[in-house]
Structure 1
């Protein structure tokens, strides 16, 4: 049974190792095309305290880049079963913490609904508040109140129209596999999938290349995906050696179906160990047959790396531009 109050020392090492192994600098994948109006008196007041009451001011929207070690989370999205206590989720924990920091209830929206046990070093979330917060202090203020398996890596101000879901353009996932007859990982066992089979990386690369493009990924999704269309576009898919007997499957795309990356990883794993040929990918696309793809690998090897967004032009900025043209 999962504890609702985690011990502080349990996950901090795993999360720090996740962050240390991230393949890129963890910052938002876009920059706002606008500037906030200056307010010198408010800034001076805020410099003397960490949080400023702002009942007379308009709502401000903040974007957070979030990392979490997903082992003890029931996924990202809040889950409140009927007649049972709420499950521990990354969204639920973070929303509670942020509400305490800004001293008012907030609604937190995340860009990707990662599953139970899946990790993230580049989740993006947003919320709006009437409370004025020095943005340079926000990430630290939130993280200092979070359990050790969750951190806010950065924060910035975005237009009020910003939606982490609909404004998302591209996402990158990474699946880590340790293979061969080597000792199972100990300290990072929660963040890597293990198999005793030897793997042929060139065959896996061959299979990965066949996934690139726009295809109907229905055979690479769980039956309960609940999407009207299963056509998705993969921009990049590759397999790289990250150390001896350890590889990473990296997938960049415009959108993903339920368990899609984990099934892709399972399919490439079977190709690598010789259970399937690389052209089984083509035959799966042609037939739509789930039996021609691999198993759904466990969540522990999967990590959300980053999400790139389009930042909408703020309403105030558009008004000023229209006034200037008139």
Structure 2
């Protein structure tokens, strides 16, 4: 039978989602490896977890979708309590349920929704959940106009670190919106059918470069056209959260 659940985790506690190979005697702890160990103990058998997307080291998630197969019926409420008790406090699961046998958390997803948080003043309590851009003057209206260049279908090869797996680097973005939470917190709300390795961080970093007048308006289109030769900023991972995966 196939089951699925939502997963929430603190990205700074793990080396990304995907399980890593061993390097000598050291094995990096990932979200996948931590959860699979908890499921192995609870179900007394190895379980392979498949997520909707492979978040990078330091990137958080609130709505990651995961599925797995298990030969038998499960008391979902009891298993959730066991996993959340056995696992680390930095990762929790919810909404565990039986799903269609052909459901696939990655391939059935129609869009992914991310939020990237910016702080315009020094912070202490929230510093692990956003990018502190500090006192630098930033033109938010200019960034919003520049962000519209990301909308629609584009080849994002120049806004990612290719995994060299032969897969397409074309993505279709349907939302790239800036929201002011208060006088020092702003959020980028970004949605698309798929995202590539470090793509969101590269896009946000480019918008920051434009917003602080390091580069002019139109830089995004120059990068798409491979006409841009300058150095670019990569937004740090702790500001990014995978909020939801839609089906």
Normalized against structure 2, the TM-score is what? 0.93
Q: Distance in 2 between matches of 1:136 and 1:82?
A: 37
Question: Gaps (5+ residues) in structure 1?
Answer: 1-59, 310-326
Aligned positions of 1:159-308 closer than 5 A: 159-179=100-120, 182=121, 184-196=122-134, 197-224=136-163, 226-285=165-224, 287-289=225-227, 291=229, 294-308=232-246
1:304, CA displacement in angstroms?
0.6
Q: 2:74 aligns with which of 133, 148, 151?
A: 133
Q: Alpha carbons of 1:227 and 1:234: their partners in 2 closer, same or farther (altered >3 Å)?
A: farther
CA 168–291 in structure 1, closer or farther in 2 if over 3 Å, else same: farther
- Contact 1:172 1:251 survives alignment (8 Å): yes
| In structure 1, C-alpha distance between the alignment counterparts of 2:164 and 2:125, rounded to whole Å | 33
* Alignment partners' CA distance in 2, 1:234 and 1:268: 15
Q: Deviations over 1:79-138 (max 9, x none)?
A: 122422321100000011012222221111111111111100011111111242222333
Is residue 116–residue 299 contact of structure 1 (8 Å, CA) maintained in 2?
A: yes
What's the CA shift for 1:223? Answer: 4.7
Work out whether residues 5 and 96 of structure 2, in 8 Å CA contact, stay in contact via their aligned partners in 1. yes
Distance 1:161 1:170 in 2: 18
Select the residue among 45, 68, 72 that pairs with 2:13: 72
Higher mean C-alpha displacement, 125-134 vs 170-179: 125-134
Q: 2:60 aligned with 1:122, yes or no?
A: no
Kept in 2, the 8 Å contact 1:198–1:273? The answer is yes
Check 1:145–1:170 CA distance in 2 against 1; reply closer, same or farther (3 A cut): same
Q: Which has the larger radius of gyration?
A: 1
Conserved? CA contact 1:218–1:288, under 8 Å: no
- Work out the CA distance in 2 between the residues paired with 1:138 and 1:109: 18
* Rounded Cα–Cα distance in structure 2 between residues aligned with 1:291 and 1:171: 30
Per-residue CA distance 1:137-182 (angstroms, 9 max, x = gap): 3323321221110010221111222221211210011111112xx3
Distance 1:140 1:292, change over 3 A: farther
